Amino acid sequence: MQSISETLEEKLQVLLSYLGQVNAGFESIAEDIDCTNLKTAIFALSVEAKQYAEEITDQLHERNIFIPLAATDQLWKKIETDIHEQAEVAKGGEIAALCNNCESYFNKFYEDILVEYLPLTNFKDIITCQLYAVKCAFMKIRLLNKMRFNTLRELV
């Protein structure tokens, strides 16, 4: 039976909690978006966050490693507060602030795990792949947000 360090277990618990909060939070935000493409991209990230949590949990369960999930939404509440404080007055500012905040947490939590010793076969590849997929999802959301207000020229 493989085991993981207590530090890695704590970091995985934080990531899994965050993925659950993001799933619910993005789903809620997507419901209020009027642009179909942007709404779909945000819903997709919500679903992907849930799938990533399940993939990590399944990989751990296959090795008889069980991490208790922390049922909290404190981090998402902080993100919502930060969004309102950081959102630019320009159209689409709240979505841009959402992307910036959430992506920084994704990067932090995934990179915190990647610096740890990962004794599980292919686990580092799974974590790395999820991180890159999240980065691509945020790029897409940013692009669609800009396009919704015809501000694509700012991207160049």
Question: Taking 70 as the threshold, does the pLDDT of residue 151 lie above it?
Answer: no
* Amino acid identity, position 11: K
Provide the pLDDT for residue 89.
56
Number of domains in the chain: 1
pTM summary value: 0.85
- 1 within a domain of the structure (yes/no): no
User: Is the Cβ–Cβ distance between 24 and 53 less than 8 Å?
Assistant: no
- 115 within a domain of the structure (yes/no): yes
Sequence-ordered alpha helix ranges (H) in the chain: 6-31, 36-62, 74-86, 93-114, 123-148
Q: Can you give the CATH number for the domain in which 135 is found?
A: 1.20.1260.10
- 144 within a domain of the structure (yes/no): yes
Mean pLDDT of 65-94: 74
Question: Taking 60 as the threshold, does the pLDDT of residue 43 lie above it?
Answer: yes
Rg for the chain (alpha carbons), in Å?
A: 17
- Residue at token pair 């179909």: 36
Question: Taking 70 as the threshold, does the pLDDT of residue 84 lie above it?
Answer: no
Report pLDDT digits (tens) over 99-141: 999 999 999 999 999 999 988 879 999 999 999 999 999 999 9
- 128 within a domain of the structure (yes/no): yes
Sequence-ordered alpha helix ranges (H) in 63-120: 74-86, 93-114
Quote the domain boundaries for residue 72: 6-155
